[in-house]
Amino acid sequence: MEKIFNIVKNNDLFEGVIFKDFEKLYPCLSPIRKKFKKSEIILNAGDKANYVYIILSGSVKIVKSDIDGKDNVLTELSVSDIFGEVFACANILHSHVTVVSLQESEVLFLNYKKIITSCQSACSYHSKLISNMLKLVAKKNIMLHQKIELISKRTTRERLLLYFDIHRRNQKKFTIPHSRENLAAYLCVDRSAMSNEFSKMQKEGIIKYDKNQFEIL
């Protein structure tokens, strides 16, 4: 129990929940622990969306299939990350995405209804969970908005400049925490075209960079 707490306490859902409370709370959530092998499917598109999932060990990828059947990796998640909460909260009956284990992983299944329905004992930590969930979903909302703002830009350069502006936090020098490939995927542009744009911007004296260290000039 304490082991689980030490993992899930890192998730915003349990922000401000102390172990003493967690002990009482945890059994209320009808928790189930399951292990998955590499490439095993944790949640399939079309499955019922009754659970909120938290990764206890390992990592997973969230995949969405195209109309034409092409798979599309939306994100990769690892220990203490949560998924499935948006479908559950939106009362969507079935998942739109598939979740696949990237390695040997253990996942905690929590009953969504039990999370958002105050228990009879009307415990205060329970209402804390609910407001945490609300905050968590709203924050995701803002991140999605940010991404939309980014990819609304028509050119690679505009997207990069906005990305820089968001992530440099008023610093001239900053580090980008993505590989080129992942950054390109996030910005929805071709990787090589993006690399090319980086070079151009350096030649034009707009930026300077070395590996993932960037500087605005």
Partner DNA sequence: ACATGTATGTTGTAGTTACAACAAAGGATG
Partner DNA sequence: CATCCTTTGTTGTAACTACAACATACATGT
Structure tokens at 202: 């350096």
58 neighbors 25 (Cβ within 8 angstroms): no
Site string for a second copy, 15-44 (x = CB under 8 A): ------------------------------
CA distance 167 to 135: 22
Per CB under 7 A, which of residues 173..192 are in contact with DNA? Answer: 179-181, 188-192
| Cα angle, residue 200 at apex, residues 197 and 203 outer, rounded to 5° | 155
Q: Which stretch binds a second copy (CB under 8 A): 40-48, 53-61, 145-153, 170-178?
A: 145-153
Q: In the numeric block, which tokens belong to residue 188? A: 């929805």
191 binds, among a second copy, DNA, none (CB under 5 to 8 A by kind): DNA
Tell me whether residue 10 or residue 195 sits nearer to DNA (CB atom): 195
Shortest distance, CB of residue 190 to a second copy, whole angstroms?
Answer: 8
The DSSP code for 43 is E
Q: Segment 120-159, which members bind DNA (CB under 7 A)?
A: 154-157
- For DNA, which is the closer residue by CB, 7 or 207? 207
Is residue 12 within 8 A of residue 83, CB to CB? The reply is: no
Contacted entry of DNA, a second copy, none for residue 122, CB cut-off 5 to 8 Å set by kind: a second copy
The amino acid at 209 = Y
Q: What does 156 interact with, of a second copy, DNA, none (CB < 5 to 8 A by kind)?
A: DNA
Return the beta strands (E) in 132-212 as ranges: 173-175, 207-210
φ/ψ of 202, rounded to 5, equals -70, -45
Is residue 123 part of the contact set for a second copy (CB under 8 A)?
A: no
In 31-91, alpha helices (H):
85-89
Q: How far apart are CA 153 and CA 99, in angstroms?
A: 30
Using an 8 Å Cβ cutoff, are 41 and 34 in contact? no
167 binding DNA? (CB under 7 A): no
Within positions 157 to 196, which residues make up the interface with a second copy, using CB under 8 A? 161-162, 165, 188
- 171 vs 192, beta carbon nearer DNA: 192
For residue 99, which phi and psi values (nearest 5 degrees)? -120, 125
Q: Which residues of this protein are in contact with DNA, per CB under 7 A?
A: 154-157, 179-181, 188-199, 209, 211-212
Q: Which residues of this protein are in contact with a second copy, per CB under 8 A?
A: 64, 67, 72, 85-92, 96, 116, 118, 122, 127, 130-131, 133-135, 137-142, 144-145, 147-149, 151-152, 154, 161-162, 165, 188
